[in-house]
Chains A and B, each alone.
Chain A
Amino acid sequence: MPAVAPRSGDAIFASAERVNAELFTLTYGAIVRQLITDLEEVDEVNKQLDQMGYNIGVRLIDEFLAKSNVSRCVDFKETAEVIAKVGFKMFLGVTATVTNWDAEGTTCSLVLEDNPLVDFVELPDTCQGLHYCNVLNGVVRGALEMVSMKTEVTWIRDMLRGDDAYELQVKLLKQIPEEYPYKDDE
Protein backbone atom coordinates (compact mmCIF):
# COMPACT_ATOMS: atom_id res chain seq x y z
CA MET A 1 0.00 0.00 0.00
CA PRO A 2 1.50 3.38 -0.96
CA ALA A 3 2.17 5.50 2.11
CA VAL A 4 -0.30 8.32 2.62
CA ALA A 5 1.04 11.51 4.12
CA PRO A 6 -0.08 12.23 7.70
CA ARG A 7 -2.62 15.03 7.95
CA SER A 8 -2.34 18.02 10.23
CA GLY A 9 -4.72 18.51 13.12
CA ASP A 10 -5.95 21.74 11.57
CA ALA A 11 -6.74 20.07 8.25
CA ILE A 12 -8.65 17.23 9.86
CA PHE A 13 -10.60 19.54 12.14
CA ALA A 14 -11.47 21.84 9.26
CA SER A 15 -12.80 19.00 7.13
CA ALA A 16 -14.63 17.20 9.93
CA GLU A 17 -18.23 17.80 10.86
CA ARG A 18 -18.28 20.08 13.89
CA VAL A 19 -20.75 21.09 16.55
CA ASN A 20 -21.11 24.02 18.87
CA ALA A 21 -18.75 23.48 21.79
CA GLU A 22 -21.55 24.50 24.14
CA LEU A 23 -23.48 21.31 23.39
CA PHE A 24 -20.35 19.39 24.31
CA THR A 25 -19.62 21.41 27.43
CA LEU A 26 -23.19 21.23 28.70
CA THR A 27 -23.45 17.49 28.03
CA TYR A 28 -20.23 16.90 29.93
CA GLY A 29 -21.57 18.99 32.78
CA ALA A 30 -24.69 16.84 32.83
CA ILE A 31 -22.52 13.72 33.06
CA VAL A 32 -20.49 15.09 35.97
CA ARG A 33 -23.68 16.12 37.73
CA GLN A 34 -25.15 12.65 37.31
CA LEU A 35 -22.03 11.07 38.74
CA ILE A 36 -22.00 13.39 41.74
CA THR A 37 -25.63 12.50 42.44
CA ASP A 38 -25.07 8.78 41.97
CA LEU A 39 -21.72 8.35 43.65
CA GLU A 40 -21.60 11.21 46.16
CA GLU A 41 -17.92 10.68 47.06
CA VAL A 42 -15.61 12.95 45.08
CA ASP A 43 -12.95 10.23 44.80
CA GLU A 44 -15.49 7.86 43.31
CA VAL A 45 -16.54 10.49 40.81
CA ASN A 46 -12.92 11.07 39.81
CA LYS A 47 -12.47 7.33 39.31
CA GLN A 48 -15.64 7.00 37.26
CA LEU A 49 -14.72 9.96 35.05
CA ASP A 50 -11.36 8.34 34.41
CA GLN A 51 -13.04 5.03 33.58
CA MET A 52 -15.47 6.74 31.22
CA GLY A 53 -12.54 8.47 29.58
CA TYR A 54 -10.81 5.12 29.19
CA ASN A 55 -13.92 3.66 27.55
CA ILE A 56 -13.94 6.58 25.13
CA GLY A 57 -10.20 6.38 24.49
CA VAL A 58 -10.21 2.73 23.43
CA ARG A 59 -12.82 3.59 20.79
CA LEU A 60 -11.60 7.01 19.76
CA ILE A 61 -8.10 5.79 18.85
CA ASP A 62 -9.32 4.06 15.68
CA GLU A 63 -10.89 7.25 14.37
CA PHE A 64 -7.70 9.08 15.20
CA LEU A 65 -5.68 6.54 13.22
CA ALA A 66 -8.14 6.43 10.33
CA LYS A 67 -8.34 10.18 9.86
CA SER A 68 -4.78 11.24 10.64
CA ASN A 69 -2.92 8.60 8.57
CA VAL A 70 -0.38 8.50 11.37
CA SER A 71 1.89 5.47 11.06
CA ARG A 72 3.78 3.83 13.88
CA CYS A 73 5.56 6.46 15.96
CA VAL A 74 9.32 6.09 16.17
CA ASP A 75 9.43 6.90 19.86
CA PHE A 76 7.34 8.22 22.71
CA LYS A 77 8.41 11.79 21.96
CA GLU A 78 6.76 11.53 18.58
CA THR A 79 3.70 9.98 20.17
CA ALA A 80 3.31 12.87 22.58
CA GLU A 81 3.65 15.47 19.82
CA VAL A 82 1.07 13.69 17.70
CA ILE A 83 -1.41 13.56 20.59
CA ALA A 84 -0.92 17.22 21.37
CA LYS A 85 -0.98 18.61 17.83
CA VAL A 86 -3.23 16.21 15.97
CA GLY A 87 -5.26 14.33 18.56
CA PHE A 88 -6.48 17.20 20.67
CA LYS A 89 -6.99 19.41 17.64
CA MET A 90 -9.08 17.02 15.59
CA PHE A 91 -11.47 16.25 18.42
CA LEU A 92 -11.49 19.25 20.72
CA GLY A 93 -10.42 21.93 18.29
CA VAL A 94 -7.56 23.00 20.54
CA THR A 95 -3.87 22.12 20.51
CA ALA A 96 -1.75 21.25 23.49
CA THR A 97 1.95 21.90 24.01
CA VAL A 98 4.36 19.18 25.04
CA THR A 99 6.84 20.15 27.76
CA ASN A 100 8.78 18.92 30.77
CA TRP A 101 10.42 15.88 29.27
CA ASP A 102 12.38 13.75 31.68
CA ALA A 103 15.88 12.48 30.86
CA GLU A 104 14.71 9.05 29.66
CA GLY A 105 12.09 10.51 27.37
CA THR A 106 9.29 8.51 28.98
CA THR A 107 7.49 11.24 30.91
CA CYS A 108 6.20 14.56 29.64
CA SER A 109 3.46 17.10 30.17
CA LEU A 110 0.65 18.05 27.84
CA VAL A 111 -0.41 21.61 28.51
CA LEU A 112 -3.80 22.96 27.50
CA GLU A 113 -4.71 26.60 27.81
CA ASP A 114 -8.11 26.22 26.24
CA ASN A 115 -10.36 23.42 27.37
CA PRO A 116 -13.84 22.98 25.87
CA LEU A 117 -14.91 20.65 28.68
CA VAL A 118 -14.89 23.60 31.01
CA ASP A 119 -16.92 26.71 30.52
CA PHE A 120 -18.69 28.63 33.24
CA VAL A 121 -17.63 25.91 35.63
CA GLU A 122 -16.76 26.67 39.20
CA LEU A 123 -16.11 23.98 41.74
CA PRO A 124 -18.36 24.32 44.76
CA ASP A 125 -16.81 23.90 48.21
CA THR A 126 -18.31 20.43 48.50
CA CYS A 127 -16.38 19.31 45.44
CA GLN A 128 -12.95 20.71 46.06
CA GLY A 129 -11.24 17.36 45.50
CA LEU A 130 -12.92 16.88 42.15
CA HIS A 131 -10.81 16.59 39.03
CA TYR A 132 -13.55 17.92 36.78
CA CYS A 133 -11.69 17.05 33.57
CA ASN A 134 -10.64 13.60 34.68
CA VAL A 135 -12.23 12.14 31.59
CA LEU A 136 -9.23 13.40 29.61
CA ASN A 137 -6.80 11.23 31.61
CA GLY A 138 -8.77 8.14 30.75
CA VAL A 139 -9.06 9.06 27.08
CA VAL A 140 -5.29 9.42 26.67
CA ARG A 141 -4.60 6.28 28.68
CA GLY A 142 -7.21 4.18 26.85
CA ALA A 143 -6.18 5.36 23.42
CA LEU A 144 -2.49 4.64 24.01
CA GLU A 145 -3.21 1.23 25.47
CA MET A 146 -4.85 0.21 22.19
CA VAL A 147 -1.59 0.92 20.40
CA SER A 148 0.44 -1.10 22.86
CA MET A 149 1.54 1.59 25.29
CA LYS A 150 0.72 1.34 28.97
CA THR A 151 0.75 4.77 30.58
CA GLU A 152 -0.05 6.61 33.76
CA VAL A 153 -1.80 9.95 33.28
CA THR A 154 -2.20 12.44 36.11
CA TRP A 155 -3.13 16.11 36.59
CA ILE A 156 -0.31 18.48 37.47
CA ARG A 157 -2.16 21.75 37.00
CA ASP A 158 -5.91 22.38 36.94
CA MET A 159 -7.39 25.78 36.18
CA LEU A 160 -10.51 24.97 38.14
CA ARG A 161 -8.30 24.68 41.16
CA GLY A 162 -6.72 28.05 40.61
CA ASP A 163 -3.78 27.12 38.38
CA ASP A 164 -3.00 29.04 35.21
CA ALA A 165 -3.34 26.13 32.78
CA TYR A 166 -4.35 22.49 32.46
CA GLU A 167 -1.30 20.26 32.63
CA LEU A 168 -1.52 16.50 32.17
CA GLN A 169 1.47 14.37 32.93
CA VAL A 170 1.81 11.32 30.73
CA LYS A 171 4.22 8.63 31.84
CA LEU A 172 5.07 5.70 29.62
CA LEU A 173 5.17 2.61 31.82
CA LYS A 174 5.83 0.00 29.20
CA GLN A 175 5.36 -0.96 25.58
CA ILE A 176 3.39 -4.16 25.40
CA PRO A 177 4.93 -6.41 22.75
CA GLU A 178 2.58 -7.80 20.15
CA GLU A 179 1.50 -11.34 20.84
CA TYR A 180 1.30 -13.97 18.17
CA PRO A 181 -1.70 -16.27 18.21
CA TYR A 182 0.27 -19.50 17.98
CA LYS A 183 2.19 -18.64 21.11
CA ASP A 184 -0.96 -18.92 23.21
CA ASP A 185 -0.67 -22.68 23.21
CA GLU A 186 2.52 -22.68 25.28
Chain B
Amino acid sequence: MIGVGKIKQYSNVLDKPVSKGKQEVSLSAFAFLFSELVQYNQTQVDNIAELERRLEDAGYAVGARVLELLCHRDKGNRRETRLLGILSFVHSTVWKVLFGKVADSLEKGTEHEDEYMISEKELLVNRFISIPKDMGTFNCGAFVAGIVRGVLDGAGFPAVVTAHFVPVEGLLRPRTTILIKFAEEVLKREARLG
Protein backbone atom coordinates (compact mmCIF):
# COMPACT_ATOMS: atom_id res chain seq x y z
CA MET B 1 0.00 0.00 0.00
CA ILE B 2 1.17 3.47 -0.76
CA GLY B 3 2.68 5.53 2.00
CA VAL B 4 2.46 2.85 4.65
CA GLY B 5 5.93 3.33 6.06
CA LYS B 6 7.62 1.65 3.12
CA ILE B 7 9.03 4.63 1.34
CA LYS B 8 11.78 6.56 3.06
CA GLN B 9 12.02 10.18 2.19
CA TYR B 10 15.62 11.03 1.49
CA SER B 11 16.44 14.67 1.84
CA ASN B 12 19.42 14.19 -0.41
CA VAL B 13 19.94 11.62 -3.13
CA LEU B 14 23.49 11.20 -1.80
CA ASP B 15 22.09 9.80 1.43
CA LYS B 16 20.40 6.95 -0.41
CA PRO B 17 22.23 3.66 -0.06
CA VAL B 18 24.02 2.61 -3.23
CA SER B 19 22.07 -0.22 -4.82
CA LYS B 20 23.67 -3.64 -4.83
CA GLY B 21 23.17 -3.78 -8.57
CA LYS B 22 20.93 -6.83 -8.50
CA GLN B 23 17.75 -5.29 -9.88
CA GLU B 24 16.89 -6.38 -13.40
CA VAL B 25 14.72 -5.32 -16.30
CA SER B 26 13.86 -7.37 -19.38
CA LEU B 27 16.32 -7.32 -22.26
CA SER B 28 13.38 -6.16 -24.37
CA ALA B 29 12.95 -3.02 -22.30
CA PHE B 30 16.59 -2.13 -22.85
CA ALA B 31 16.42 -3.04 -26.54
CA PHE B 32 13.40 -0.78 -27.15
CA LEU B 33 15.08 2.06 -25.29
CA PHE B 34 18.32 1.61 -27.19
CA SER B 35 16.46 1.43 -30.49
CA GLU B 36 14.83 4.76 -29.69
CA LEU B 37 18.22 6.24 -28.76
CA VAL B 38 19.51 5.27 -32.21
CA GLN B 39 16.37 6.49 -33.97
CA TYR B 40 16.44 9.84 -32.20
CA ASN B 41 20.09 10.37 -33.08
CA GLN B 42 19.40 9.48 -36.70
CA THR B 43 17.08 12.48 -36.88
CA GLN B 44 19.83 14.75 -35.58
CA VAL B 45 22.52 13.91 -38.11
CA ASP B 46 23.23 14.12 -41.83
CA ASN B 47 25.61 11.22 -42.18
CA ILE B 48 26.76 7.98 -40.65
CA ALA B 49 29.98 9.33 -39.17
CA GLU B 50 27.98 11.86 -37.18
CA LEU B 51 25.59 9.16 -35.98
CA GLU B 52 28.53 7.14 -34.79
CA ARG B 53 29.96 10.10 -32.94
CA ARG B 54 26.65 10.88 -31.22
CA LEU B 55 26.19 7.29 -30.11
CA GLU B 56 29.75 7.25 -28.81
CA ASP B 57 29.14 10.46 -26.89
CA ALA B 58 25.98 9.01 -25.35
CA GLY B 59 27.97 5.96 -24.28
CA TYR B 60 30.78 8.07 -22.84
CA ALA B 61 28.50 9.48 -20.16
CA VAL B 62 27.41 5.97 -19.24
CA GLY B 63 31.02 4.81 -19.03
CA ALA B 64 32.07 7.62 -16.73
CA ARG B 65 29.24 6.79 -14.34
CA VAL B 66 29.80 3.05 -14.45
CA LEU B 67 33.41 3.59 -13.44
CA GLU B 68 32.44 5.65 -10.42
CA LEU B 69 29.75 3.22 -9.41
CA LEU B 70 32.01 0.19 -9.66
CA CYS B 71 35.01 1.79 -8.02
CA HIS B 72 32.91 2.67 -5.06
CA ARG B 73 30.91 -0.52 -4.83
CA ASP B 74 33.13 -3.34 -5.99
CA LYS B 75 36.63 -2.11 -5.64
CA GLY B 76 36.44 -0.21 -2.39
CA ASN B 77 37.65 2.93 -4.10
CA ARG B 78 40.92 1.43 -5.27
CA ARG B 79 42.27 2.73 -8.52
CA GLU B 80 43.84 0.82 -11.37
CA THR B 81 47.17 2.34 -12.32
CA ARG B 82 48.44 -0.20 -14.85
CA LEU B 83 47.29 -0.70 -18.42
CA LEU B 84 46.57 -4.40 -18.18
CA GLY B 85 44.74 -3.78 -14.95
CA ILE B 86 42.31 -1.32 -16.45
CA LEU B 87 41.84 -3.42 -19.58
CA SER B 88 41.06 -6.44 -17.48
CA PHE B 89 38.65 -4.33 -15.44
CA VAL B 90 36.81 -3.29 -18.60
CA HIS B 91 36.86 -6.74 -20.18
CA SER B 92 35.66 -8.52 -17.05
CA THR B 93 34.07 -6.33 -14.40
CA VAL B 94 32.48 -3.65 -16.54
CA TRP B 95 31.27 -6.16 -19.11
CA LYS B 96 29.84 -8.46 -16.44
CA VAL B 97 27.89 -5.63 -14.80
CA LEU B 98 26.54 -4.13 -17.99
CA PHE B 99 26.12 -7.16 -20.24
CA GLY B 100 25.91 -10.08 -17.84
CA LYS B 101 29.09 -11.80 -19.00
CA VAL B 102 32.78 -11.12 -19.47
CA ALA B 103 33.78 -10.13 -22.99
CA ASP B 104 34.68 -12.97 -25.36
CA SER B 105 38.27 -11.89 -25.75
CA LEU B 106 40.88 -9.28 -25.00
CA GLU B 107 43.85 -9.09 -27.34
CA LYS B 108 46.81 -6.87 -27.95
CA GLY B 109 47.05 -5.47 -31.45
CA THR B 110 49.76 -7.05 -33.53
CA GLU B 111 50.54 -4.06 -35.70
CA HIS B 112 50.60 -1.20 -33.23
CA GLU B 113 51.94 -0.97 -29.70
CA ASP B 114 49.12 1.28 -28.56
CA GLU B 115 46.21 -0.88 -29.73
CA TYR B 116 44.12 -3.41 -27.85
CA MET B 117 40.95 -5.18 -28.88
CA ILE B 118 37.96 -6.43 -26.93
CA SER B 119 35.81 -8.70 -29.07
CA GLU B 120 32.34 -10.15 -28.83
CA LYS B 121 30.60 -12.62 -31.10
CA GLU B 122 27.61 -10.29 -30.80
CA LEU B 123 27.27 -7.21 -28.65
CA LEU B 124 24.21 -7.21 -26.45
CA VAL B 125 23.14 -3.88 -27.91
CA ASN B 126 23.13 -5.37 -31.41
CA ARG B 127 21.09 -8.44 -30.53
CA PHE B 128 17.98 -7.47 -32.46
CA ILE B 129 19.48 -4.99 -34.90
CA SER B 130 20.00 -5.64 -38.61
CA ILE B 131 22.02 -2.93 -40.32
CA PRO B 132 20.53 -1.97 -43.72
CA LYS B 133 22.83 -2.63 -46.65
CA ASP B 134 23.08 1.05 -47.51
CA MET B 135 24.60 1.89 -44.15
CA GLY B 136 27.79 0.08 -44.96
CA THR B 137 29.94 -0.81 -42.00
CA PHE B 138 28.00 1.22 -39.44
CA ASN B 139 27.82 -0.48 -36.04
CA CYS B 140 25.50 0.57 -33.22
CA GLY B 141 28.25 -0.78 -30.98
CA ALA B 142 29.60 2.76 -31.24
CA PHE B 143 27.58 3.24 -28.05
CA VAL B 144 29.64 0.55 -26.33
CA ALA B 145 32.85 2.04 -27.71
CA GLY B 146 31.76 5.26 -26.04
CA ILE B 147 31.16 3.45 -22.75
CA VAL B 148 34.68 2.00 -22.87
CA ARG B 149 36.17 5.40 -23.67
CA GLY B 150 34.26 6.90 -20.74
CA VAL B 151 35.61 4.28 -18.35
CA LEU B 152 39.19 4.58 -19.61
CA ASP B 153 39.16 8.36 -19.63
CA GLY B 154 37.75 8.53 -16.13
CA ALA B 155 40.38 6.10 -14.92
CA GLY B 156 43.21 8.17 -16.36
CA PHE B 157 43.82 6.13 -19.52
CA PRO B 158 42.70 8.38 -22.37
CA ALA B 159 42.13 6.53 -25.63
CA VAL B 160 40.34 6.60 -28.95
CA VAL B 161 37.79 3.78 -28.96
CA THR B 162 35.82 2.57 -31.96
CA ALA B 163 33.53 -0.37 -32.80
CA HIS B 164 33.99 -2.50 -35.90
CA PHE B 165 32.32 -5.45 -37.53
CA VAL B 166 34.86 -8.15 -38.35
CA PRO B 167 33.81 -10.98 -40.69
CA VAL B 168 34.68 -14.40 -39.33
CA GLU B 169 35.52 -17.43 -41.41
CA GLY B 170 32.70 -19.94 -41.23
CA LEU B 171 30.27 -17.69 -39.36
CA LEU B 172 27.21 -16.17 -40.98
CA ARG B 173 27.40 -12.97 -38.99
CA PRO B 174 30.47 -10.87 -38.30
CA ARG B 175 31.70 -10.42 -34.77
CA THR B 176 32.29 -6.99 -33.22
CA THR B 177 35.66 -5.70 -32.11
CA ILE B 178 36.03 -2.70 -29.82
CA LEU B 179 39.33 -1.19 -30.85
CA ILE B 180 41.17 0.79 -28.17
CA LYS B 181 44.00 3.06 -29.17
CA PHE B 182 45.70 4.54 -26.13
CA ALA B 183 47.07 8.07 -26.08
CA GLU B 184 50.82 8.41 -26.15
CA GLU B 185 50.98 9.71 -22.58
CA VAL B 186 49.46 6.45 -21.36
CA LEU B 187 52.14 4.34 -23.00
CA LYS B 188 54.89 6.64 -21.78
CA ARG B 189 53.60 6.38 -18.22
CA GLU B 190 53.29 2.63 -18.53
CA ALA B 191 56.88 2.41 -19.69
CA ARG B 192 58.04 4.55 -16.76
CA LEU B 193 56.22 2.33 -14.31
CA GLY B 194 58.15 -0.60 -15.71
| A contact set with B: CB distance below 8 Å | 13, 16-24, 26-31, 33-35, 38, 48, 52, 55-56, 59-60, 63, 90-93, 97, 99, 111, 113, 116, 119-122, 135, 164-165
Measured in the bound complex, the distance between the Cα atoms of B58 and A83 in whole Å is 30
Q: CB-CB < 8 A to B28: which residues of A?
A: 16-17, 60, 63, 91
Do residues B39 and A164 form an inter-chain contact, with CB atoms below 8 A? no
Do residues B61 and A24 form an inter-chain contact, with CB atoms below 8 A? no
> Is B62 interfacial (CB-CB < 8 Å)?
yes
Measured in the bound complex, the distance between the Cα atoms of B59 and A77 in whole Å is 40
The majority secondary structure among interface residues of chain A is helix
Could you give, for residues 21-38 of chain B, a 1 whenever the CB lies within 8 Å of some chain A CB and a 0 otherwise? 101111111101111110
Q: CB-CB < 8 A to B54: which residues of A?
A: 34
User: Which of A19, A38, A60 has the largest number of chain B CB atoms within 10 A?
Assistant: A19
Could you give, for residues 5-26 of chain B, a 1 whenever the CB lies within 8 Å of some chain A CB and a 0 otherwise? 0110100110010010101111
Known contacts A19-B27, A23-B30; decide if A31 and B37 are in contact (CB<8 Å): yes
Do residues B58 and A19 form an inter-chain contact, with CB atoms below 8 A? no
Beyond known contacts A17-B26, A20-B21, A30-B58: 7 more, CB 8 A cutoff? A19-B30, A31-B37, A31-B40, A56-B36, A93-B24, A119-B19, A164-B3
| B contact set with A: CB distance below 8 Å | 2-3, 6-7, 9, 12-13, 16, 19, 21, 23-30, 32-37, 39-41, 44, 54, 57-59, 61-62, 65-66, 69, 97-100, 124
Find the A residue at minimum CB distance from B37: A31
Do residues A18 and B37 form an inter-chain contact, with CB atoms below 8 A? no
Do residues B66 and A90 form an inter-chain contact, with CB atoms below 8 A? no
Measured in the bound complex, the distance between the Cα atoms of B2 and A99 in whole Å is 10
Q: CB-CB < 8 A to A135: which residues of B?
A: 33
Measured in the bound complex, the distance between the Cα atoms of B9 and A116 in whole Å is 17
Q: CB-CB < 8 A to A21: which residues of B?
A: 23-25
Do residues B2 and A164 form an inter-chain contact, with CB atoms below 8 A? yes
Do residues B36 and A18 form an inter-chain contact, with CB atoms below 8 A? no
